[in-house]
């Protein structure tokens, strides 16, 4: 009886292994993105990071098995997040979901190994799973926040320079082309966005579509105000150079007001730490007298 059960188990294991190997052999890997900004970022990361070049085929392979309903449900949200993060690692939406899954499994295995080493059972399995799943999302959100902050800081100065260039005879694309040139040997986030606007204009998109794409990629109040001002000036036939110049001054004024509000709020937020510090000093000074008075 034992030999028959053992033979049946071996046969079932061999059949399962053969089926899995046949499925993998007949599966075609999805192509690597090669076109557009996503493809450029992908090629740059493959050349710069050896770790990503090793894990990229695994991410593509796992991303191909993402269920269709999950891809439809979270695909648009992931695509928006990746677009605002300048196509982080050149990943597609399915590959981003695959990276999240792989990160969760890797962190869960690491937590399980630590728990086993400390003889704590499965204590770190669930925290590792949650932490690994959140890491790619937190990374992209941090990139989006930094890019929006950098663009909001540099936009008023860039607008004023663009208004001066247009006043000197350049058109709007010419001013953007000048502003998209790299400074100090590298392109900052604002120059990259201006270059993306020029690329969309060269591909045949209207100025309105290119600017709305800029506002969609950068979730910032300064960018939305600038885009709305340019679109309204184009619709009403107002002089674009004058409108941009006024918009640059307004954005500079808004930055000054926000800086003053932040300084005033910082003073209020310092009250609680100062009270704690004052309490520590009073305790340090009065502590010996209190101890002697109580008789310890």
The candidate with the shortest Cα–Cα distance to 142, out of 212, 88, 93, 97, is 88
Give the pLDDT band of residue 72 (cuts 50, 70, 90). low
Say how far apart CA 183 and CA 92 lie, in whole Å: 30
Give the pLDDT band of residue 42 (cuts 50, 70, 90). confident
Q: Which residues touch 185 (CB under 8 Å, ≥6 apart)?
A: none
pLDDT above 80 (res 147)? yes
Highest mean pLDDT among 89-93, 139-143, 218-222: 139-143
pLDDT tens-digit map of 5-17? 555 556 665 665 6
pLDDT tens-digit map of 80-105? 888 888 888 888 888 888 888 888 88
The confidence score (pLDDT) of residue 2 equals 45
Mean pLDDT of 32-46: 76
**211 in Cβ contact with 227 (< 8 Å):** yes
The confidence score (pLDDT) of residue 20 equals 52
The confidence score (pLDDT) of residue 225 equals 84
The confidence score (pLDDT) of residue 67 equals 66
Give the pLDDT band of residue 128 (cuts 50, 70, 90). confident
**253 in Cβ contact with 179 (< 8 Å):** no
Mean pLDDT estimate for the chain:
77
For residues 69 and 62, the model is more confident at 62
pLDDT above 70 (res 18)? no
Using alpha carbons, list the distances in angstroms from residue 137 to 97, 132, 143, 144, 172.
10, 10, 10, 11, 36
**97 in Cβ contact with 76 (< 8 Å):** no
Q: Residue 172: how many CA atoms within 13 Å on its side-chain side?
A: 20
Residue showing tokens 């704590």: 120
Q: Residue 108: how many CA atoms within 13 Å on its side-chain side?
A: 12
Give the pLDDT band of residue 1 (cuts 50, 70, 90). very low
The confidence score (pLDDT) of residue 118 equals 72
Please report, rounded to a whole number, the percentage of residues in the chain having pLDDT higher than 90: 0
pLDDT above 80 (res 214)? yes
The pTM of this model reads 0.71
- To the nearest 10°, report the CA torsion of 253, 255, 261, 267: -130
Say how far apart CA 293 and CA 225 lie, in whole Å: 66
pLDDT tens-digit map of 229-281? 888 888 887 777 788 877 777 777 777 777 777 777 777 778 888 888 888 88
pLDDT above 50 (res 115)? yes
């Amino acid at each position: 009886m034992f030999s028959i059960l053992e033979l049946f188990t071996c046969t079932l294991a061999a059949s399962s292994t053969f089926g899995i190997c046949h499925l993998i052999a007949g599966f075609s890997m999805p192509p690597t993105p090669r076109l557009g900004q996503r493809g450029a970022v992908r090629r740059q990361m493959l050349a710069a990071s050896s770790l990503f070049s090793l894990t990229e085929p695994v991410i593509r392979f796992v991303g191909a098995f993402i269920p269709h309903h999950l891809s439809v449900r979270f695909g648009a949200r992931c695509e928006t997040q990746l677009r605002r993060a300048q196509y982080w690692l050149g990943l597609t939406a399915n590959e981003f979901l695959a990276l999240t899954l792989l990160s969760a499994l890797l962190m869960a295995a690491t937590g399980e190994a630590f728990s086993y080493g400390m003889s704590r059972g499965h204590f770190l399995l669930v925290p590792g799973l949650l932490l690994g799943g959140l890491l790619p999302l937190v990374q992209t959100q941090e990139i989006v926040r930094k890019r929006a902050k950098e663009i909001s800081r540099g936009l008023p100065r860039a607008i004023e320079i663009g208004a001066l260039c247009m006043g000197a005879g350049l058109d709007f694309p010419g001013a953007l082309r000048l502003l998209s040139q790299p400074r100090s040997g590298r392109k900052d986030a604002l120059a990259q966005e201006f270059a993306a606007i020029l690329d969309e204009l060269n591909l045949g998109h209207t100025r309105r579509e290119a600017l709305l794409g800029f506002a969609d990629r950068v979730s910032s109040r300064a960018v939305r105000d600038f885009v709305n001002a340019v679109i309204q000036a184009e619709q009403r036939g107002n002089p674009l150079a004058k409108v941009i110049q006024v918009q640059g001054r307004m954005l500079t004024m808004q930055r000054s007001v926000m800086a003053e509000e932040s300084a005033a709020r910082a003073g209020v937020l310092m009250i609680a730490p100062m009270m704690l510090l004052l309490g520590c000093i009073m305790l340090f000074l009065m502590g010996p007298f209190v101890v002697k008075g109580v008789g310890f």
